Amino acid sequence: MRLALIGAGRIGQVHAQAIDRHPGVTLAAVADYHAPSAEELAAQYGTKALSVDAIFKNGDIDAVLIASSTSTHADYLEQAAHTGKAILCEKPIALDLARTRDALQVLESHPVTCALGFNRRHDPQFAALKQAVASGRIGELETLTIISRDPAPPPAEYVGASGGLFRDMMIHDFDMARWLLDEPITHVQATGSCLIDQAIGKAGDVDTAMVILTTASGRLCHINNSRRACYGYDQRIEAFGSAGMLQAQNESETRLRFTGEPGQVEEKPLWFFLERYAEAYSREIGDFVDAWREKRAPLAGAEDGLEALRLAEAAEQSLKEGRRIALDSTH
Amino acid sequence: MRLALIGAGRIGQVHAQAIDRHPGVTLAAVADYHAPSAEELAAQYGTKALSVDAIFKNGDIDAVLIASSTSTHADYLEQAAHTGKAILCEKPIALDLARTRDALQVLESHPVTCALGFNRRHDPQFAALKQAVASGRIGELETLTIISRDPAPPPAEYVGASGGLFRDMMIHDFDMARWLLDEPITHVQATGSCLIDQAIGKAGDVDTAMVILTTASGRLCHINNSRRACYGYDQRIEAFGSAGMLQAQNESETRLRFTGEPGQVEEKPLWFFLERYAEAYSREIGDFVDAWREKRAPLAGAEDGLEALRLAEAAEQSLKEGRRIALDSTH
Amino acid sequence: MRLALIGAGRIGQVHAQAIDRHPGVTLAAVADYHAPSAEELAAQYGTKALSVDAIFKNGDIDAVLIASSTSTHADYLEQAAHTGKAILCEKPIALDLARTRDALQVLESHPVTCALGFNRRHDPQFAALKQAVASGRIGELETLTIISRDPAPPPAEYVGASGGLFRDMMIHDFDMARWLLDEPITHVQATGSCLIDQAIGKAGDVDTAMVILTTASGRLCHINNSRRACYGYDQRIEAFGSAGMLQAQNESETRLRFTGEPGQVEEKPLWFFLERYAEAYSREIGDFVDAWREKRAPLAGAEDGLEALRLAEAAEQSLKEGRRIALDSTH
Amino acid sequence: MRLALIGAGRIGQVHAQAIDRHPGVTLAAVADYHAPSAEELAAQYGTKALSVDAIFKNGDIDAVLIASSTSTHADYLEQAAHTGKAILCEKPIALDLARTRDALQVLESHPVTCALGFNRRHDPQFAALKQAVASGRIGELETLTIISRDPAPPPAEYVGASGGLFRDMMIHDFDMARWLLDEPITHVQATGSCLIDQAIGKAGDVDTAMVILTTASGRLCHINNSRRACYGYDQRIEAFGSAGMLQAQNESETRLRFTGEPGQVEEKPLWFFLERYAEAYSREIGDFVDAWREKRAPLAGAEDGLEALRLAEAAEQSLKEGRRIALDSTH
């Protein structure tokens, strides 16, 4: 696969490395609205910088990886669909449902392989948990608990443009919930507080939130978000069922243990999402290439982006209105 | 302290043993509506069986431990107050708020030492967690997660008379939440499902539930209940704050670890609440005796029973009405 | 059983408490060469102080617990045998083999129930490990690793009188090794250093030691001793076999875990042997009483004391001579 | 660096992948006594197959990685030194001391960068342990315990040619001991048994062994080897000192935990050394390239191979003679 990367920022650089290591993909070009960034990254991996237009016009390019700023995702996704290129798009497609639905319609009329960057589905530990649940290891799944805490809050100005905690941060957890619950989510209850940075509250957002989801058969799911965990990136999932419980635990750099004056001490969880999900980013590229070759759906697609966004909107509404929001199943 | 035990059933027997081991308490008498049970237990500990009336009339008895059936708690508590005896009463005082408030009024007009059997406050691990939070080890407390799962569901007929999951089971977690959050709880959101035993659902109750509590300053607390955990009694608490996290973990019989074909295996959590909270029951007696001697309030009192019940009622209402319930602070 | 306690020091006090809690034993008397200590302890448990002579002459006393200083053990043991009293004797019987063998001969000609205070055999976790090995959980046992480190070294003057590390400290590990290896030990190799306190070295002893034992069938056992572990009493055993491995881990006060700046921190191991082996001391009394009643051998007997001492002497010889010492099986 | 790989077998393939991923190294050629294997591996990484002779004559090749059969190591190492090529040589240089010393003399007279494949020094966890010890985290290092068990024994015929457990398997542990003890080892005591496969015993070797090393200052080190651990590759190190203890623990595929009927179950240790030390092999290449560029000594050099072999020989002698062997410091 000849793949062009749109976006040479931090997340684009992560993808560039994963592409470089994958034997089945060639990094065909890099684009960025800031041309020198594209050139630098292209040089680093021995490829060329192109404009976005040039990429879409280039018949030798099979696929694009959209890692530019959120506001451009839907447009680029539609252009890729129109030009018949496979798509790996960073989440979200857009911050509102209407724009997202438009993009999905374009994909429907111009079908191409389209993967969405819900990287956590590719994490080895979460994937093993998913597989164990699917294989019946815990019998009937009954409850799910997702704890997801960032090491440090973003600047308040970012928060304003991000769409808020539910759309920007918990969106990943909504996707994990949908993926693991494996049946329609019917109700959402949410609450939130601003406990970490008052500027976030002034920007109209919360920095600490709890949500409960209910599914069609009555499964319950709790999501627990905080914008700051002083000990690092806290990413855990607990699936409880009739025959047992599965717990995905935090990863640390090594398993070295010190015992001394302060007690029995193991390392802190990895601090940064790029380290924590390094393997996930690598597997995400692999799944995308395989899906494209095998003409099958990737592990996460555009529809999953729409559904996670609907949950985020319902959570926001629940927070505001103080009531359980029913999700229309005929959206 | 000369203490009479009212109720010679399972929980009464647990208390009898704890009393026997405490150097500062003498088991002065045992009563039970089923006289042979009282006689048997009394004989076992070298004391006598008496009727409840005889106990209340006996001027040599300093205190009563009320471990009879729930419907008798409030009456016995009031009789004890009227006769000037110190009280250790199993929770709940009553299944409804009105009866509980009446009992509290009697206590107000006839003040005696009155402890309520919220045994978990006396658990060494939870007590250590409470103390660590209080000492600022995790900075400002922000969120609390309480996971509480029974090993096996009660018979459906019991469920009917129990007042339901929120009053009967989650009541302990509401008390832990109040104790650890350490400020007024202002809002309750609840949801629940019947996933384990359909008979429980037919009896009008749920067997799986999730609740979110909010406090005056915006702290959030999640409570997660299930009536059945195939691996044993699952009792965990996670307190998260600005400077770290504290996790109370399950206890097992020994810490022996086996590594072999199935993996690295540690023992299951203790199965039964009597084993899990054996030390807590013992400390509960100790706290009661000390409170009585020192004329101070015990670790959990009658008011705590009322407050936990208010939360249970609010949770039930939230489950029914699908909305966040505000707790009146001027009850 | 009417049991008299000889020795009112630290270890005597531990036993007094365990006796007091056991429903089948009455503390009939306390003796100590320092009479006021005996009186104080006797008063604390509502019994009387007697001289050692008076105890041995008293026909109402069924048994003696010998917890006096080491140099008196063998004499009291023999007197008890001569007067037909059951014996629970703190280890060692004597510091040299000849005196120990004499005492065993008296026991042979005057058979009474005689238990030796190898308390670790009664530890719940080690007992569970023993049972799991016996039940074949790890298949054929092949190697054993015993790590045993004291929290702090004794004063150097104590070391001189103690018989040295192998006789005083590792004696417990030799007994665990014999108990778990469950077949004749044929060879001993030992080495040791003085790394912690130079005064110990000047007193002619080591404070850090490693030993390898070999059994008749070729099983290997490593024992690892240190007189000081700054983090507490380090007591671990690893049994490795054809079908897996069992690891007895350190115990801590609670299982509370803190995660924060320094990492993921669990509590230190318990510091003091009395806390670590509190339950073991209690079970030791129980086993002694049961053995006496059922006229069976207790879990550890006088012969076990002799055998452990032979290993200690062989280790000392190996350390001095720099060679593997073969144990004569026809001692 | 233009690097040629000599040896296209299993370990050669591991190195080929690590070379391929390192941005600073080009795999210039592959050689193997079985030419088709060299061609296949060369094709896989887009390079060419050459004879060993051609490699040594090729002036464009900077370095060789010797991963051919043990008996060829010393010859190739000498040829590389004579032709001025940097060397990364799989351990051991040779199975006997004399041949090893000859090779070292050639290196002395023809100095090139020469790294020896003691891969464990490059393992992130062991490296973190080494660094923590060096930084004084446990104060003065006093004892070291190295547990090293293979998942399954090699065929008995391999054992015969391998030089025996001490030279073939424990050699890695001797190197770790030297590296971590960080001072001259003065004495070796060893014992061993054949408990796993009688054919190994018939071939004159042991399959289970325990060793104790003593250093100049009195530090003690225990090494514990077994040729078979049914649960996987067991690789642990415990460093104990005056201020605490460090434990390197086994690694597993993920940290997913299941709790159910059998208990609380974590995954088995990784089964195979290639998985367990994948990162170590990668870092080993990195260190080699850096050492060559910076003209510094690599983390493990030829001298380390000689020293580990001396320990293996001493252990073998100790096993045979039943005594502690003093190591001549003026070898």
Our CA angle for C279, C281, C284, nearest 5°, is: 110
Tokens at residue A217, please?
Answer: 């058969």
Reduced to 3 states (helix: H, G, I; strand: E, B; else coil), residue C3 is strand
- How confident is the model at residue C157, as a pLDDT? 82
pLDDT in tens, C214-264: 999 999 999 999 999 999 999 999 999 999 999 999 999 999 999 999 999
A150-182 b/e (C-beta count within 10 Å ≥ 16 → b): bbebbebeebeebbbbbbbbbbbbbbbbbbbbe
Give the amino acid at D24.
Answer: G
pLDDT in tens, D196-219: 999 999 999 999 999 999 999 999
Q: Is the pLDDT of residue D160 over 90?
A: no
Which fold does the domain B2-112 belong to in CATH?
Rossmann fold (3.40.50)
Of B319, B298, B312, give the one whose Cα is nearest residue B107: B298
Mean pLDDT of all residues in B216-242: 98
- How confident is the model at residue C133, as a pLDDT? 98
For chain D, where do the domains classified as CATH 3.40.50.720 start and end?
2-112
The 10 Å Cβ neighbour count of residue D131 is 11
Our CA angle for A248, A251, A252, nearest 5°, is: 160
C294, burial (CB in 10 Å: exposed 0-12, middle 13-18, buried 19+) = exposed
By the 8 A CB rule, do C317 and C138 touch?
Answer: no
Q: How far is D264 from chain C (nearest CA, A)?
A: 14
> What ipTM is given for this predicted complex?
0.95
Judged by CB atoms closer than 8 Å, whether chains meet at C245 and D224 is answered as no
C45, burial (CB in 10 Å: exposed 0-12, middle 13-18, buried 19+) = middle
DSSP one-letter string for B67-132 = -S-HHHHHHHHHHHHHTT-EEEEPSPS-SSHHHHHHHHHHHHHS---EEE--GGGG-HHHHHHHHH
CA trace torsion C145, C149, C155, C159 (10° rounding)? -10
Judged by CB atoms closer than 8 Å, whether chains meet at D208 and C149 is answered as no
pLDDT in tens, C2-15: 999 999 999 999 99
Interface of A with D (CB under 8 A): 21, 124-125, 128-129, 132, 137-138, 243-251, 253-261
Cis peptide before C155 (omega within 30 of 0): no
* CA C73 to chain centroid: 14
Tokens at residue D266, please?
Answer: 């974590």
Summary mean pLDDT of chain D: 95
Give the amino acid at A42.
Answer: A
CA distance A154 to A208: 13
- How confident is the model at residue D25, as a pLDDT? 95
DSSP label at residue D262: T
Nearest CA in chain B to A241: B229
Q: Is the pLDDT of residue D156 over 60?
A: yes
Give the amino acid at A274.
Answer: L
**Please, which pLDDT band fits residue A331 given cuts at 50, 70 and 90?**
low
What backbone phi and psi angles, to 5 degrees, belong to A266?
A: -105, 165
Judged by CB atoms closer than 8 Å, whether chains meet at D231 and C220 is answered as no
- How confident is the model at residue A329, as a pLDDT? 65
DSSP label at residue A252: B
Return the residue matching tokens 């070759």: A293
- How confident is the model at residue B162, as a pLDDT? 84
The strand ranges marked E within chain C are: 2-6, 26-31, 48-49, 63-66, 86-89, 114-116, 141-149, 185-193, 208-215, 220-226, 234-241, 244-248, 257-260, 263-266, 325-326
Q: Is the pLDDT of residue B265 over 80?
A: yes
By the 8 A CB rule, do B326 and B186 touch?
Answer: yes
DSSP label at residue C110: S
By the 8 A CB rule, do D67 and D41 touch?
Answer: no
**Shortest CB distance from D231 goes to which of B230, B260, B266?**
B260
**Shortest CB distance from A243 goes to which of D138, D243, D260?**
D260
Summary mean pLDDT of chain C: 95
Return the residue matching tokens 């402890």: B115
Return the residue matching tokens 């026909």: C59
DSSP label at residue B299: S
Of B136, B131, B227, B228, give the one whose Cα is nearest residue B180: B131
Judged by CB atoms closer than 8 Å, whether chains meet at C243 and B260 is answered as yes
Judged by CB atoms closer than 8 Å, whether chains meet at B263 and D259 is answered as no
Full-model pTM: 0.95
CA distance D84 to B3: 92
Q: Is the pLDDT of residue B223 over 90?
A: yes
| Pairing verdict, β B263-266 and B325-326 | unpaired
Lowest mean pLDDT among A264-268, B215-219, B271-275: B271-275
For chain A, where do the domains classified as CATH 3.30.360.10 start and end?
121-271+301-326
pLDDT in tens, C111-139: 999 999 999 999 999 999 999 999 999 99
Give the amino acid at D224.
Answer: N
More confident residue, D329 or D18: D18
Q: Is the pLDDT of residue C329 over 70?
A: no
CA distance D171 to C165: 32
Query: Residues with Cβ < 8 Å from A275, sequence gap 6 or more?
Result: none
Q: Which CATH number does the domain C121-271+302-326 belong to among 3.20.20.100, 2.60.40.60, 3.40.50.1440, 3.30.360.10?
A: 3.30.360.10
Q: How far is A261 from chain C (nearest CA, A)?
A: 6
pLDDT in tens, B89-105: 999 999 999 999 999 99
Summary mean pLDDT of chain B: 95
Q: Which CATH number does the domain D121-272+302-326 belong to among 3.40.630.30, 3.40.50.300, 3.30.360.10, 3.40.50.970?
A: 3.30.360.10
Interface of C with D (CB under 8 A): 139-140, 142-143, 145, 147, 149, 187, 189, 191-196, 208-210, 212, 214, 217-220, 222, 224, 226, 228-231, 234, 240, 242-245, 322-324
Q: Is the pLDDT of residue B330 over 80?
A: no
Tokens at residue C208, please?
Answer: 């850090």
Interface mutation target, options C183, C186, C189, chain D, most CBs of D under 10 Å: C189
Query: Residues with Cβ < 8 Å from D17, sequence gap 6 or more?
Result: none
By the 8 A CB rule, do C93 and C71 touch?
Answer: no
Of D322, D318, D312, D329, give the one whose Cα is nearest residue D96: D312
Interface mutation target, options B45, B122, B258, chain C, most CBs of C under 10 Å: B258
pLDDT in tens, A186-214: 999 999 999 999 999 999 999 999 999 99
By the 8 A CB rule, do A244 and B226 touch?
Answer: no
Judged by CB atoms closer than 8 Å, whether chains meet at B231 and D260 is answered as yes
pLDDT in tens, D21-70: 898 899 999 999 999 999 999 999 999 999 999 999 999 999 999 999 99
C67-88 b/e (C-beta count within 10 Å ≥ 16 → b): bbebebbbebbbbbbebebbbb
By the 8 A CB rule, do C310 and C330 touch?
Answer: no
Sign of CA dihedral C11, C15, C18, C21: negative
Segment (H or E) for B286: helix B278-294
Q: Which CATH number does the domain A121-271+301-326 belong to among 3.40.50.620, 3.60.110.10, 3.30.360.10, 1.10.600.10?
A: 3.30.360.10
The greatest distance separating any two alpha carbons of chain A, rounded to the nearest whole angstrom, comes to 65
CA distance C179 to B318: 60
pLDDT in tens, A123-147: 999 999 999 999 999 999 999 999 9
CA distance C158 to C137: 42
Judged by CB atoms closer than 8 Å, whether chains meet at B229 and A210 is answered as no
Range from B69-73, D201-205, D242-246 that averages highest in pLDDT: D242-246
What is the layout of strands, in order, in the sheet containing C114-116? C48-49, C26-31, C2-6, C63-66, C86-89, C114-116
CA distance C244 to D149: 12
D185, burial (CB in 10 Å: exposed 0-12, middle 13-18, buried 19+) = buried
Distances (CA, A) of A127 to A137, A299, C66, D210: 14, 11, 61, 40
Tokens at residue D258, please?
Answer: 């299941």
Q: Is the pLDDT of residue C330 over 70?
A: no
Judged by CB atoms closer than 8 Å, whether chains meet at A258 and D245 is answered as yes
**Please, which pLDDT band fits residue B45 given cuts at 50, 70 and 90?**
very high
CA distance D250 to D230: 14
CA distance B48 to B285: 20
- How confident is the model at residue D331, as a pLDDT? 52
**Please, which pLDDT band fits residue C331 given cuts at 50, 70 and 90?**
low
Sign of CA dihedral B150, B156, B157, B159: positive
B175, burial (CB in 10 Å: exposed 0-12, middle 13-18, buried 19+) = buried
Reduced to 3 states (helix: H, G, I; strand: E, B; else coil), residue D232 is coil
Of B163, B121, B117, give the one whose Cα is nearest residue B12: B117
pLDDT in tens, B150-184: 999 988 888 878 889 999 999 999 999 999 999 99
C131-168 b/e (C-beta count within 10 Å ≥ 16 → b): ebbeeebbeebbbbbbbbbbbebbebeebeebbbbbbb
Q: Which CATH number does the domain B121-270+302-326 belong to among 3.40.50.720, 3.30.230.10, 3.30.360.10, 3.40.50.620?
A: 3.30.360.10
Tokens at residue C202, please?
Answer: 């000047």
Judged by CB atoms closer than 8 Å, whether chains meet at A254 and D132 is answered as no
Summary mean pLDDT of chain A: 95
